[in-house]
Structure 1
Amino acid sequence: MTGLPRTGTSLPAPGDFLRDYEILGRIGSGGMGVVLQARDLKLDRIVALKFLPQIFYGGESDKESLLKEARSISALDHPNICTIYGLEESDGQLFIVMAYYDGGTLAGRIANGPVPLGKGVELLRGIASGLAAAHAHNIVHRDIKPSNILLTRQNTVKIVDFGLSKAISNDSLTQSMTISGTAAYMAPEQLSGQPVDQRVDIWAIGVTAAEMFTGHHPFRGDTLPAIAHSICRDTPEISAELPLSLQRIIYKCLSKTPALRYGICDELLHDLARLDLREFQKNSSGPEKSADSKATAAALITGKASQAKSRKASLRKKDIGSIIAAASGATTPKPFTRRWIVPAAVICLLLLAVVIFPVPREHVQGLFFGPRQKHIAVLPFDNSGSDSATALLAAGLMDSMTADISNLDTSQQSLWVIPASVVRSGNVNDPVSAYKRLRATLVVKGRLERTGQHVAIDIDLINAKTLRQIGAITASNENGDLAAAEQDAVTQLGRLLNVSGASGAVVRSGSSTVPPAYDLYLEALSYLQRFDKPQNLDLAIDRLKNAISQDPNFALAYAKLGEAYRLKYKDSHNPRWIQEALASCERALKLNPQLPSTYVTLGSLHTLTGNNELALTEFQNAVALDNRNPDAIIGMAWSYEQAGHLDQAEEEYKRAAALNSSDWSNRNELALFYDRHGRYSDAINQTKEAISSSPDNPMLYFNLGGFYLDSGDPAAYSLAEDALRKSLALGATDGAYGNLALLYLHEKRYAQAADASERAIALDGQEILSWRYAELAYYYLGERQKANAALDRMESLAEAQTSMNPRKASSQSWLGLVYALKGLRERAIPHLEAAISLAPNDPEVLVNVIQAYNRLADASVAENLIKQAQQEGVGLADLQLDPDMQPLLARIKKH
């Protein structure tokens, strides 16, 4: 058959014949052309003919490109890629001959509402599998979207339109980008015109997945610029009701930094294969969820775990009658008149004991008059022998016991356990120091004894203020099971503290019943206490891997191994450790999804790599399990802050600070937040309150000195120096010396500034600020060789930090400043623009960027940034330190 005579751009109608095809009807249309259903008269089969708009192939080179792409795709033989039969031409019109599938498009399926989880995951696997095959042949789709995903009647995925966006010209592609089409599924690097690879397809899978499971696009906007802006800047809207394992996959696909996405589709397929579809189907999804399950999920994700039904039963309080009955030994209910005779006598005797014997007073007061808030510090455990191996176990026991006591049921919120890291950082080893530095009301002082298979834990519970012993505990095990002895000790301690629910078994979530494995775990904890020391991280990892080999179901060991790998990555910047950390944490969660520490590690890892959206999800999950976990709450706050949601960030920082009025560390985080956003008086006031609860804390004094400096008020310089000197008297730190160097630079005491900088660098040579202060001091002293050496060191540090986390604004600003100081304009500008884009109101970033533009002779840009900062109330006092800034600052001041 020959084609009917046709003119212009009109298309065949039903009943027409085109070459060897009988037109049956119209299937659909889009930015890439119109699709008709037809019968192949030669082979007697139904096919689809896609007619491409003639603007896509204005010349022979365009036709050749399309033909080349068609040949490449037709060579692929994969069940999830649409079969291409050929590329033909009739009357000047090109059309692609494809297999016909009668299940519609994924876009049509989504239009009917969210896709159930089980079916959706199967569809995602099909999409990723098809793209993996294409990527293996160096073919990138570039236009993955629901309308380019066809379905068979059996719900098999068939991807279409491979190569079209590459084969047609850029001008033609721009004309095809509509709000409902291509642009909405483009990755940030595509929208900005940067080079692309297979990861743009992985981004598009993430957008498609979010749309499948929620029914709406994860980035909102009414216009093309609005959608593009949202894609490049906003956090994607992913339903909190989706399983967290699925949320993680989608967030990873939608990382704005390509390096943080899945590198290849095989990695995505690996994670999709690990999803338990039976669990998804059991829990249902989307619109099929019940109102109760929705409420529970919402409570979990917002951290209101106490509202979830599954938690209420364990939060019931004992009434005083049951306590007295237990004290009297009564087990059977008796008539009222007889029931109270023995307890009444007991009450009288106990009250008399309170008056006569002072030691148990605190305990009895808690028994009758309700628990008072208790602040507990677990001090380092003593080793009763001389065995070095037992000493390692004793050191690790401090951390493990702290975590166990934190897990006691505290529905009345009367118990606050000071983190072991805070105890160690304050060098607290005795009750007096615990009370003075940490405001602990109670301390746990323990000893570990090990003789052959016999292990014993002895604990003294001491009133830190009066130094009176409240009670003593001994827990032992004759089979060498230290974990069992520890459980027994914590259970007894809970009863002694009169903590609600402590009479029940202590939850050992994720622990081990294999004694050698638990011993190795405690040894690893001891090494992790000083992970900054050479080889300690490797020793901890070795112990944890051996523990897991002894007990493959040891969830806590997997969780701690994930944390060790995270620290390894932070130290070496080797991406290998990211994957190791993720794999270890995922294994821990598979064994036990109720471990808050695992989610905190995951959140911290994603924060370290700049994936704040996924980090927030992990921290929220930790808070859902433990709504008094300060690390998780502060992690949430930091994620909100990085996303620019400052009101939410402040609320979470305040929430962490309110957990325990005597814990200086959380209040310090709130003060640092205020300082970062130019609220210096608030920062100073918060730090003074923290000092009132921890008066001998060197870190607080060095921060206080820094906040006085940041305020830019010369009248506060003497207060700053007093605070910094106090800090150094309590303990030398690079931060205190660095702030002192900054103070001396402001006061033009350059020799002292150089000396303070050198002392700071000697303590920690990885801090860029210390090198910057040294560089400035050497410059003013006329020691140019030293100044240049300091600048070189700044460059290497900034490059390493930017490579590790390209979304960290401060690192980008430092690298841009260094390049500007070296006169490398072309290298400086991209980093300066990135820094301002990521954190337009951050004082450190603004100071660096303004100095850089001024050095690059872009004084107008620098001046505009200064004015903008002034309008926002951001302090820029440190600009005075740069000698090149003086003319511009004088001009601004004059006007």
Structure 2
Amino acid sequence: MLGTTISHYRILEKLGEGGMGVVYKAADTQLRRTVALKFLSPHVLSSPEGKARFIREAQAAAALDHTNICTVHEIAEADGHTFIAMALVDGCSLREKVASGPLEREQALEIAIQIGLGLHQAHRKGIVHRDINPGNIMVTTESQVKILDFGLARSAEHSRMTKDGVAIGTVAYMSPEQARGEEVDERTDIWSLGVALYEMLTGQLPFRGTGDQAIIYSILKEEPQSMDAPGSEVSPELEGLIAKALAKRPEERYQQIEDLLVALGVSVDVLDYGRPRPARIRGRSARRSRVYLFGSIVAVSLLIAVGLYLSLRPRAPSLGSKSVAVLPLENLVAEGGNEWFSDGMTEDIITQVAKIKDLRVIATTSVMKYKNTEKGLARIARDLGVGTIVKGTVRQAGGRALITTQIIDPFTSELLWAGSFDNAMGDIFAVQTEVALQLAGALKAQLTPDERSRISNVPTGNPEAYELYLKGRYLAAKRDPNEVKKSLAFFEQSIEKDSTYAPPHAGIADHYITLGIYNVVNAEEAFSKAKAAAERALSLDPNLSEAHTVRGAYETMYGWDWARSEREHRRAIELNPGSAWARVWLSLHLRTRGRMDEALAEIQQARELDPLSGLVNSHLGLALVALDRDEEAITVLKGCLEMDPYAVITRRWLGFAYMSHGMFDEAIAELEESQRLAAADEFACTLLGRAYAFAGRRADAERLLERLHALGSDRFTPYGVAAVHASMGQKDSAFVWLDRAYRMRDHWVALNIAVDATDPAWDGLRSDPRYRAVQRKMGLGD
């Protein structure tokens, strides 16, 4: 049949063959899409009952609309063939996955939950699948489950789908009542799902034998073999759950698929089924000891979902029912070209949505961890603590952008909204506005007139200026000083195209702030240019949150106008409540004022918005050190290293936390590793000098000081040198360098000579009048 056209489908290749038919990949020449066509086998066609069953498959499946069920487009007859046209699933069957051995527990449970959700939708419509087995389950490249083949499904009005006691289905997955040829209901699907879950976890079937009759005997008479094997990840509770699904008598099993889903950790509110909820479900759910927080996709309540077997990870933060993650848009340009555009569009949509105070939006840094991921949407939502996912695709070429977006409930797979846009680049901001407004509507978020106005703002009418800005921001987001330096040229070119376009001015401001913090260029030059660029951006757009953040950062790190610093940071948050970095900067400012509890609260909010950011979590660790909560800080910073073992900044602050806690050997190990990974990190070098001094290794500390002096004062932090001298008990040298740090406006002074500061280098020296004098000159003292 390859190459032939039947109806309006051109046959491309054979995909597989089963008992009831052959499946081909085909091109739909009318709608220009690729589909799967299932043709009835000739021996089935000769039977009127077989043909009727085939048609029932299409009718049953076509009545179902759920993400975890393969979509059926049509059933048709043409050229002597009867066939079903269905969506082509890009992935592999669950049979292929388990062929290589057991799946990881979390992956197996995720797949089981998705199968259960699809069956839940079918059972609500009175449809029983009757042939749930790994061969009928597809797992897409994005780890989404699709249930295939409702050829054995039946509607509620059909009392029986067997004839003369002949069982229909895949033998190893049949329930006892199905194997006996008896009437079945949705509990037979629960049994089959229990068998599939057993197999995913162990790599073996629970009921085995040589030949169909031996397997049926095992199903009817034998108990499944124990799953408690050496090295197994199956807990006694999980084995008990599967045993209940595999109870021989249907009345002893879970009576409804939602019962099993609740036991697997899915909230009853997420299921939202129409029948009354049995009290025993509520009681069992309340007793579960391991709890995850989920966000509901409808604006009805905060949703507590029970997660029995997914509890080895830290609990995801609860951001409430109106919590959103915008996943990286999939770049459809060949060979990954224009990645700067797909990433930039993702970040711009996040920025627009985050302007809505009534929503909580996960920051770009965290969602980018899921770029090209194979994780399922429900697992991502649990990781990030959100109840809604936005995903889509983008293709940018020839002055146009083709963008598709979907707003999805990751736990029920309900599609809340979908949009497709084919816009000229000059109209690209309309797409971002539409997605933000649709998301607000889907979640029933309150949207103020000011927020609507800011979301609808068109910052430039020049598409070339926008593209150049995106390229600059793509490089700046890498936070690598070398890449940050390259970003400047793109921001400047963007301004050449449109001098009134505010965001590239803010990009330049952030560029110089970053270079100043990392001592890449002279501090006075870097911070002065940052201030000028931020003020230019604000003159063009007073509502640009990013510019207010940089303007406040300038005052925190260099200008030391503390009232202006706090005012700018709070204005940045007011304009963009979802900005994690605005809260990081406000937290830093509050630390300089000695308001440690407030600083901790802000950084904790930043972490909720950007939970997977190593930098945000590192700042949380620092805030905990400032509160003398060193053990908690060490735990947080170790967690950061699990995210990124090569994060130099994290190792720097972990070493500092160890040093603050008196664990000098551990501090030296972390700081030496930081030096090995980035020898140019001179502040980490000064921290190492302090650790050597505290550990009694004065010769090593002196050696580091000599190295720093040889570099010249424009390459290192004078505050760090002052702290090394202080750690060695060299008071006079310490205050000489501290005064130099003040006069040079070393930004580390503001963060470490704050009111009630806890840097251990200055223990015993804070009562010295010279220390108090520096505080007063900076406006930090009494």
Structure 1 or 2: larger helix share? 1
TM-score by length of structure 2 reads 0.48
Q: Which is greater in Rg?
A: 1
